């Protein structure tokens, strides 16, 4: 059984609609926060699912420097997923998955989240 989370926010999207911008930024930020948690937890299966679903076109919801940062975060999350998958398949590996250094990947995700903070009312 698969669970699907669907969120609907009925708003008219205009260039100067602050409510729409805040809602979109909040959606992007919460998805990035979930990606960050999964990378930190080294949960490759759920990370892949999120990357293939809700995070797939996340960078298209934002523009400019923020879009670049979100795209970079997604790329780093994909690489982290590959690193986790390779470590899971490595039968000769003696260290637990928790020993994997994920800082390179989490830093990129945290940077994108940081750029969205002012748009969503600061840190949570």
Selection from 113, 123, 102, 92 nearest residue 27 by Cα? 113
Would you say domain 18-118 falls under CATH 1.20.1050?
no
Would you say 42 and 102 are in contact if contact means Cβ atoms under 8 Å apart?
yes
Average pLDDT score over residue span 7-25: 71
pLDDT at 56 over 70: yes
- Rounded to two decimals, what is the model's pTM? 0.81
Q: How do the domains of the chain map onto residue ranges?
A: 18-118
Mean pLDDT of 7-23: 69
∠ CA 31-40-95, rounded to 5°:
155
**Tokens 């979930």 sit at which residue?**
34
Mean pLDDT on 7-22: 68
């Amino acid at each position: 059984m698969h669970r699907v989370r669907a969120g609907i926010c009925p708003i008219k999207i205009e260039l100067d609609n602050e409510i729409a911008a805040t809602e979109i930024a909040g959606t992007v930020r919460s998805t990035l926060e979930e990606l960050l948690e999964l990378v930190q937890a080294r949960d490759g299966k759920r990370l892949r699912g999120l990357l293939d679903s809700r995070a797939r076109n996340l960078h298209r919801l934002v523009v400019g420097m923020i879009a670049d940062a979100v795209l970079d975060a997604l790329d780093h999350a994909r690489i982290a997923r590959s690193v986790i998958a390779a470590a899971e398949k490595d039968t000769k590996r003696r260290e637990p998955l928790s020993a994997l250094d994920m800082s390179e990947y989490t830093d990129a995700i945290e940077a994108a989240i940081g750029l969205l903070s002012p748009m969503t009312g600061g840190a949570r």
